[in-house]
Structure 1
Amino acid sequence: MGEEGTEGTVHLLCLAATSGVPLFCRSSRGGAPARQQLPFSVIGSLNGVHMFGQNLEVQLSSARTEDTTVVWKSFHDSITLIVLSSEEGTSELRLERLLQMVFGAMASYRLIDSFLGDSELIGDLTQCVDCVVPPEGSLLQEALSGFAEAAGTAFGSLVVSGRVVAATESWWRLGTPEAVLLPWLVGSLPPQAARDYPVYLPHGSPMVPHRLLTLTLLPGLELCLLCGPRPPLSQLDPQLLDRWWQPVLDPLRACVPLGPRALPAGFPLHMDILGLLLLHLELKRCLFTVEPSADQEPSPEHRRRLLRAFYTLVTASHFPPEPGSPEKVEDAAQRSQVPRACYLVSGPEEPGMGWRLVALQSGPRRLLLLSAQSPTHALRGLATHTLHALTPLL
């Protein structure tokens, strides 16, 4: 299993579908923005071969060379997005989902560049909202609902480091990719005490911008409201903030360190677990952390790459299609034969050598674990026990 995101270059091209005129190009190398651009002749050739196929009613979606993966995708017969990646282990699934997220983020270069770089989040790949579990979620939920109503909007959320802590029912009903893009955008912006930011919702309102109001309650923890022309930002005065948030100041403080950890302090995880990804495929939410046993190898960046690559592998090859994905299971007989668990051993099988990854699906939940010490025969039991413990949280 190759690890996605290791040293390599990613080029993203956006062209007019009919004329082939380049609209913008973005690049990254080793997870950081890069100035390197493809020659115009290469851009023209990549678009030309795609258009040639379309003229023959052949859909060219992806191609591989010895060291590069290329994916094409057209949207609304208006624009064509092309991505080329020379990163080791890059999969078509990851690049296809990258293009879907980029199309939803067309109004923000900052957001697009964040998808090309290394991120602590995983919603760009899973298309589920990155979440954290606060220790006193019911108190925060009550305060958020009351504040949003007082401000005159049904759409509100608390976001820490790009992850949703709590949200109103209307916010959770936002479709994909809006629900993923909005907190990701907030996490990608430089810190500010308050913002009044215009946003286009790819499905909900692609032509008319809404306003995303953000207020920093504590460093790294932001209150977000999605609204129309009203209320003005000045209406959200300190007295209104104090009325709703001063009584829950301690629960708010407990949320600040939750960003990379995702789980409440003291949550019982087995000592062999080095990272986990829990998805609720119907709610389109996920918990992702590589913080357990942080003093052990591998590094957090390496753990994220391992889990991202394993997610891509099991999603593309082993488990049934996720709700809303274009892939379809053909019949009931095929559905009954899909696996519910799988594992992968990277390196020697002796405990303490190499890495072990296990995936388990139960109903709408899918759990991926990274371990270094557990013997292979114990992986499914470890995953089953962990999923049982995490189920009340998501």
Structure 2
Amino acid sequence: MAAHLICLTSGGGVPIFTRNKGNLKPLPFPVIGSLNGVHMFANSHDVKLLSTTTEDAKVVWKVFHDSITLIIVTGDDSADDIHLNNLLSQVCDAMVLLYGLEDLANIKNIERFKREIKICSQLIDKILDQADLLTVGDLTNAVDIIAAPENSVLQNYLDAFTEAADSPYGCLMVHGKIAIATKRWWTLTSKEMVLLSLLMSSLSPCSSRDIPVFLPNLSPSVPHRLLTFQLIKDVDVCVLCGPSPTLAQLEEEVGRFWRSGYDLLRSLLQLHPRNYPLSITLDSNIMGFILVNRESHRCLCSTHPHPVASSKDTIDSKRRLEILRSFYKHVMGTFFPMSDDPDKGQEEICHQAQESYISTDSHKCYTILSEPHQIFVLYTANIPTFAMRSVTQKTLSLLVKDKHIQI
């Protein structure tokens, strides 16, 4: 997604930072001033300016904590504004996560704030850089999971390790997706779990780290410590702690608790990027899917549903994910209500759509809303349109009922 992101003070319109993604030239300062000026002019006349579209672009404004205004300018994909509003909310939450709500809501020294808020740049770029994401949690407001038969055994390792760390909050991540987590970790809000997963994906590989984080809902003003340890490449265990133990103390415990589980970890890693058990066999026309549980705020996504490549695989994995994300944005907010939409009530959607599909020359997509689950499936163009409904229903049933997929 090519986009300009602009952050300004909501009172005086002083630019804080700009971020550009894609092959775009930075916006000139007069354009930034005009974008902010029209928003402030509307406010002064008791008009709430939310968004506007041009021939080839869309602009969305949003004010946070009466302190900062975020503006995003991007191509118009005809999707509901909720998706760009969701992105702006994630950017603000990313600033709270790494900087804290108190200092964000009460900017006293603008120049100092400009310098200090740069700590969030890497995470904000990750949120904007949707084309390079291997996950969909940023879009669905549900944290990505990886479902494996090994998870039930590895849960014992995690519980023992978090107990040694004197913390009820811990999880095991594989390529930014949660394999297992403690009961208290699952009580975090969806945006906190998604942000922490995005944070892990945005960081360079490291054997261990100790990062102060403010949880946007649970603790926006008092920081926790996020301790992470790389068990094997692309597999990290994460723990949220208070002042103790120290990173060095917990580093000494990693080998003692996890050494005997390394074979299980390697087996778990091999399931990526399929992300669900090999024991489940799906229709050969399926090229990928997104499965979301709106109650547990978990989602399972796969663009490699078959162990062996098929002659039907005419679309590569990256393009499959792009199509699934585009289909999700096309459907959600337009036909199906979004569960975390503060600006649009469900009553505004007057019809009760339960299913939708699209058909193109290169692929087909089908979605079913079956509370609390939503499933979005990408098919080859060869599948008969009339067959998609029954295949999608069967796929949903297979995934939801499997004992290894806790979604």
Superposition TM-score, scaled by structure 1 size:
0.90
Q: Which of residues 366, 374, 399 is equivalent to 1:366?
A: 374
What's the CA shift for 1:359?
Answer: 0.3
Q: 2:104 aligned with 1:115, yes or no?
A: no
Q: Which runs of 5+ in 1 are unaligned?
A: 348-353
Alignment of 1:7-156 (within 5 A): 9-29=2-22, 36-86=25-75, 92-106=81-95, 107=98, 108-117=120-129, 118=131, 119-156=133-170
Q: Which of residues 210, 214, 229 is equivalent to 2:228?
A: 214
Whether the 8 Å CA contact 1:12–1:83 is kept in 2: the answer is: yes
Tell me the residue number matched to 1:160.
174
Distance 1:257 1:100, change over 3 A: farther
Separation in structure 2 between the aligned mates of residue 177 and residue 92 of structure 1, nearest angstrom: 18
Separation in structure 1 between the aligned mates of residue 38 and residue 341 of structure 2, nearest angstrom: 29
- Letter of the structure 1 residue corresponding to residue 346 of structure 2: V
Separation in structure 2 between the aligned mates of residue 37 and residue 149 of structure 1, nearest angstrom: 49
Q: Once the two structures are aligned, what percentage of the paired residues are identical?
A: 40
Separation in structure 2 between the aligned mates of residue 318 and residue 58 of structure 1, nearest angstrom: 27
Whether the 8 Å CA contact 2:8–2:69 is kept in 1: the answer is: yes
Q: 2:187 aligned with 1:173, yes or no?
A: yes
Tell me the residue number matched to 1:308.
325
Whether the 8 Å CA contact 1:127–1:177 is kept in 2: the answer is: yes
Q: Which of residues 365, 368, 388 is equivalent to 2:397?
A: 388
Whether the 8 Å CA contact 2:78–2:330 is kept in 1: the answer is: no
Separation in structure 1 between the aligned mates of residue 323 and residue 286 of structure 2, nearest angstrom: 13
Whether the 8 Å CA contact 2:165–2:241 is kept in 1: the answer is: no
What's the CA shift for 1:225?
Answer: 0.5
Q: Which of residues 339, 355, 365 is equivalent to 1:341?
A: 355
Task: Say which SS state the counterpart of residue 61 (structure 2) adopts.
Answer: strand
Tell me the residue number matched to 2:254.
241
Distance 1:283 1:317, change over 3 A: same
Tell me the residue number matched to 1:377.
386
Q: Which of residues 296, 310, 314 is equivalent to 1:297?
A: 314
- Count residues with an aligned counterpart: 373
Tell me the residue number matched to 1:226.
240
Q: 2:274 aligned with 1:261, yes or no?
A: yes
Separation in structure 1 between the aligned mates of residue 174 and residue 197 of structure 2, nearest angstrom: 9
Separation in structure 2 between the aligned mates of residue 266 and residue 307 of structure 1, nearest angstrom: 24
Separation in structure 2 between the aligned mates of residue 237 and residue 322 of structure 1, nearest angstrom: 40
Separation in structure 1 between the aligned mates of residue 319 and residue 137 of structure 2, nearest angstrom: 18
Q: Which runs of 5+ in 2 are unaligned?
A: 99-119
- Letter of the structure 1 residue corresponding to residue 198 of structure 2: W
Task: Say which SS state the counterpart of residue 6 (structure 2) adopts.
Answer: strand
RMSD: 1.9
- Letter of the structure 2 residue corresponding to residue 27 of structure 1: N
Separation in structure 2 between the aligned mates of residue 115 and residue 90 of structure 1, nearest angstrom: 18
Separation in structure 2 between the aligned mates of residue 64 and residue 75 of structure 1, nearest angstrom: 22
Task: Say which SS state the counterpart of residue 333 (structure 2) adopts.
Answer: helix
Separation in structure 2 between the aligned mates of residue 102 and residue 317 of structure 1, nearest angstrom: 23
Separation in structure 2 between the aligned mates of residue 258 and residue 90 of structure 1, nearest angstrom: 33
Separation in structure 2 between the aligned mates of residue 346 and residue 151 of structure 1, nearest angstrom: 52
Q: Which of residues 202, 216, 228 is equivalent to 1:188?
A: 202
Distance 1:202 1:26, change over 3 A: same
Distance 1:288 1:306, change over 3 A: same
Whether the 8 Å CA contact 1:135–1:251 is kept in 2: the answer is: no
Whether the 8 Å CA contact 2:60–2:72 is kept in 1: the answer is: yes
What's the CA shift for 1:323?
Answer: 5.3
Whether the 8 Å CA contact 2:79–2:334 is kept in 1: the answer is: no
- Letter of the structure 1 residue corresponding to residue 376 of structure 2: L
- Letter of the structure 1 residue corresponding to residue 363 of structure 2: W
